[in-house]
Amino acid sequence: MSQDHDHHHHHDHDHSELSETELRVRALETILTEKGYVEPAALDAIIQAYETKIGPHNGARVVAKAWTDPAFKAALLEDGSKAIGTLGHVSRVGDHLVVVENTPQRHNMVVCTLCSCYPWEMLGLPPVWYKASPYRSRAVKDPRGVLADFDVSLPKDMEIRVWDSTAETRFLVLPMRPPGTEGWSEEQLAELVTRDSMIGTGFPKTPGAPS
Amino acid sequence: MNGVHDMGGMDGFGKVEAEPNEPTFHADWEARVLAMVRAMGAAGAFNIDTSRFYREMLPPHVYLSSSYYKKWFLGLEEMLIEKGYLTKEEVAAGHAMQPAKALKHGKFDLTQVERIMVRGKFARAAAAPAKFNVGDRVRAKNIHPTTHTRLPRYVRGHVGIVELNHGCHVFPDSAAMELGENPQWLYTVVFEGRDLWGADGDPTLKVSIDAFEPYLDPA
């Protein structure tokens, strides 16, 4: 698993270096624990929360709600954090979430060229590609080229807007609702909303298409 | 600082390669590193801007050849040593050898976990009225601080339009250096792709950054 990961991302870790990293990480945790800075069980709980509680399902619920409830959509575009705070079933969200709407005229895409800023509460931890050099370097200069890497293409004259997350503001793309979903429930619609469609590197699934 | 972390517009890194069904973590140690960074930050050992600055200060060849969580680990270890929470000797020995340094918010234990799962608040009261209004033309300053900044190189010197005013926020350039929060107005400023990348740039492209007021001049 780890070897695949390293190979895939062209890092030059060989197996022994990875083991050395593991040893160093363990040593650091031992020191932090022995000095009374952290409780290992609290670290376990953080990890468990990131693995189970946060994820793109949170963002998908928000998008599906916006597709079915015009008043919520208007509130969401006005103040993302405040609007999401009114939904009991979605995990709480911190301040300064800005929701940006895709339209037939404009496609939005989110990047963090300086590090890896990402709306964790809505989408979970970012995928490796979002944090890696190819995406961070090229998204602001050649977003259509980046989209081609995802097999996504936009009409030639469509405006493409790239949001570089350079502060503590976080951005979530509100994709366009797929055609053929009239009368669908929020729960059904949420199933169509992909993580990448909320970053702007993909579209929602369309009804009947293989997932 | 003009480091390799400031990647916007660089060429040569190749294709974006998405991994199907990517797991949250690729190894257990990655999860431990994430948790230690979150825990020690919440305990008050450092702020988020300082932690970013330590990753940026990794030598360029290390930055570029290390995986994401390896960078987090290297930055964390260095930062905790420099801030006096542990020593090089302890790291070499793999055990505590010195008394602990007091943490601002105390030990990070189970009762703290829930509070860190919601993002912190970075908005602050304004000390002065905003200098710019939505719709104003502004020029990103041509500045090259050797310390932490969130003004990416690719916009410096270029003219854009103020599109949103997010209010007053903690200023990372000050906070990263532990010089206080020094809150500043924060704006979304949008640039034409061709202004940034020249006549060959994508004519349909607009790029925005979130810019703190000290980064901007009227234009």
| Contact criterion met (CB < 8 Å) for A92 and B118 | yes
Q: Is the pLDDT of residue A90 over 90?
A: no
Task: Give the mean pLDDT of A61-81.
Answer: 97
The rounded distance, in Å, linking the Cα atoms of B18 and A162 is 19
CB contact under 8 A, B77 and A24: yes
Residue A76 three-state SS: helix
The mean per-residue pLDDT over the stretch B179-194 comes to 98
Residue A131 in contact with partner chain B when CB distance is under 8 A: yes
Q: Would the CA dihedral through B28, A150, A193, B188 be positive or negative? A: positive
Question: Is A133's CB within 8 Å of B7's CB?
Answer: yes
Percentage of chain B exceeding pLDDT 90: 96
CB contact under 8 A, A46 and B73: no
Q: Which residues contact A134 (CB under 8 A, 6 or more apart)?
A: A149, B13, B14, B15, B16, B17
Mutate one of A164, A169, A172 to test the B interface: name it (highest B CB count within 10 A): A164
Cβ-based contacts of B24 with chain A (< 8 Å): 50-51, 124-125
- Which residues of chain B lie closer than 8 angstroms to A111, CB-CB? 8
- As for the ipTM of the complex, it is 0.97
Nearest CB neighbour to A50, from listed B34, B123, B172: B34
Query: What residues of A are annotated to the active site?
Result: 112, 115-117
Residue B29, pLDDT score = 97
| Nearest Cβ partner for A31 among B8, B35, B96 | B96
Nearest CA in chain A to B155: A140
Question: Mutate which of B72, B121, B147, B204 to test chain A, going by most A C-beta atoms within 10 A?
Answer: B204
Q: Residue type at B171?
A: F
Q: Which of A34, A133, A164 sits opposite B95 (nearest CB)?
A: A34
Which residues of chain B make contact with A159, given a CB cutoff of 8 A?
204-206
Please write the tens of the pLDDT for every residue from B15-36.
999 999 999 999 999 999 999 9
**Is the model's pLDDT at A124 over the cut of 90?**
yes
Give CA–CA dist A166/A116, Å, rounded.
9
Q: How far apart are CA A1 and CA A8, in angstroms?
A: 11
Of B33, B150, B205, the CB nearest to A167: B150
Task: Work out the minimum CA distance from B7 to partner chain A, whole angstroms.
Answer: 5
Confidence band, pLDDT 50/70/90 cuts, at residue A6:
very low
Q: What is the pTM of this model?
A: 0.94
Q: Provide the shortest C-alpha distance from residue B53 to chain A (in Å).
A: 10
Model confidence at A12: pLDDT above 50: no
pLDDT of residue A8: 45
For A117, residues 6+ apart whose C-beta sits below 8 A from its C-beta are: A165, A166, A168, A170
